[in-house]
Chain A
């Protein structure tokens, strides 16, 4: 479904991503791991179009999306959540998700119809599926950090994507929230047939739910394989797994 081939990206003189490869099959849950600064978020930004790669190709469902701007990438069916909470902080929870749903329904430009009566069913069901239905009317600024991260995922789902890219979805969460979120992700993947690409620092999570793991180190792909293969690989062990996460 998603294929990243030999992507390179540098900022001025700093080589952030250096020959990264990634292959995600439909329906898989794939994790990208690596120490801080390994280039994971840069890679995600390159895939979703926030950054332009210097070299290499990014193919999504057979189509070359390397040159597309973020909104086009999204319209192709690739949704994304961000590492730092990135929502619409002056709007309500309901409005946040609704904006995404309306965009998906291509109704963002409707001028003279009250938004309150459009896409209500879809938005509500989305909020229910992530467990935020009762907080629909609250302004995002008043939510807890964990709830905001879940809202991130809900917004990304608003476009009914085929594949979801989650950048550190449990960062800053308590252990209970983390477990709940992971369950949620697994559940969503199953019920919506989503393909999921994510990155995390918590190795337990990574090894427990991923089908495949891609290891990055200093911008390059060390290895991509099943959890077993990754755990036993000597290169990975010396570079990364030897200690706890950075």
Chain B
């Protein structure tokens, strides 16, 4: 099957390059960490992984697809709520919930996306915000079904995922698998055509690409992975609440991509890690984290618009020619 070959090819490729060994080393290190570090750090790392996947799924559409995906959190929330509802309201086996989450997110993504791709840029974004807000409003008010304002808590996890460490391993593995998949998609013809659409949709149409359909397919993929992130959130937190669908989260994720660098592959991960870490540790000293986030954003806009990683990539480009190849995904 295509996906299995891809994964094995992907891992083989990693094994052949220098970066690859570094990544594998990091992965092994992270995998082995939980018994040796305090519980709290295990939790924070898990949260970083979940948020990284969310940010990566957004950047797939924004940084590599050039689309104004302004309300991505909706799909994250749909994924989370789907698995939460299946686990609490039905007696279906848990894995059904785990699969249904991303699928539901992808379907909602395609539905909303179908309306949005007919528009460009700002109109695309505004329509998505309105459709997404409608979903939020329904979830927020439907107390009987979704728990409304309170959300749903104490979601039962299968035995194999019940402890924090087990949840950590599961989340890390799924993060890595998702990242490998996303990377191969970006390196495939689908991915280069997507980036070409980002750079110049008119030219793409002139070379025979059905731009709208391609964008819609990309939306399906991006929202699917957002749904996976939502499921992983539930595995970690064992609860859901309407804030997962609120527009402020969508914009925060946008900022993470900007912070990390949205034209690089790993940028959003860095952005997510920095944001979550800052939020946690700053939160210990002050309750005005939002203020600090705002200041950071302003600094970014004025001084570092390519993001942290983007900045370094630019630096490497001028150092030597080898940078040119890594200029894109």
Contact = CB atoms under 8 A, between A and B. Distances in A.
A and B in direct contact, judged by CB atoms within 8 A: yes
11 contacts: A74-B206, A86-B203, A91-B196, A92-B324, A99-B207, A100-B207, A108-B214, A109-B217, A110-B188, A111-B190, A113-B188
DSSP majority for the B interface? helix
Interface string A100-141: 101110011111111110100000000000000000011100
Contacts of B3: 112
Contacts of B184: 111-112, 114
Contacts of A41: none
B191 interface: yes
A90 B263 contact: yes
Contacts, number: 129
B82 interface: no
A86 B188 CA distance: 23
B210 A102 contact: no
A240 interface: no
Nearest to A95: B192
B193 A102 contact: yes
Given A90-B327, A90-B328, A108-B214, A99 B193 contact: yes
A82 B192 contact: no
Interface string A78-93: 0110100011111110
Interface of B: 2-3, 5-6, 9, 184-185, 187-193, 195-196, 198-200, 202-211, 214, 217, 263, 324-325, 327-328
Contacts of B2: 111-112
Given A71-B210, A100-B207, A91 B199 contact: yes
Contacts of A91: 192, 195-196, 199, 328
A102 B200 contact: no
A235 interface: no
Which of B5, B208, B209, B324 has the most chain A CB atoms closer than 10 A to its own CB?
Answer: B208
A124 B204 CA distance: 20
Interface stretch (A2-10, A155-163, A184-192, A199-207): A155-163
Contacts of B187: 114-116
B190 A158 contact: no
Report, nearest first, the 6 A-B pairs whose CB atoms are least far apart. Answer: A88-B199, A74-B208, A70-B205, A100-B207, A103-B208, A112-B6
B114 to A, nearest CB: 17
A174 interface: no
Nearest to A109: B190
B64 to A, nearest CB: 10
A50 interface: yes
A98 interface: yes
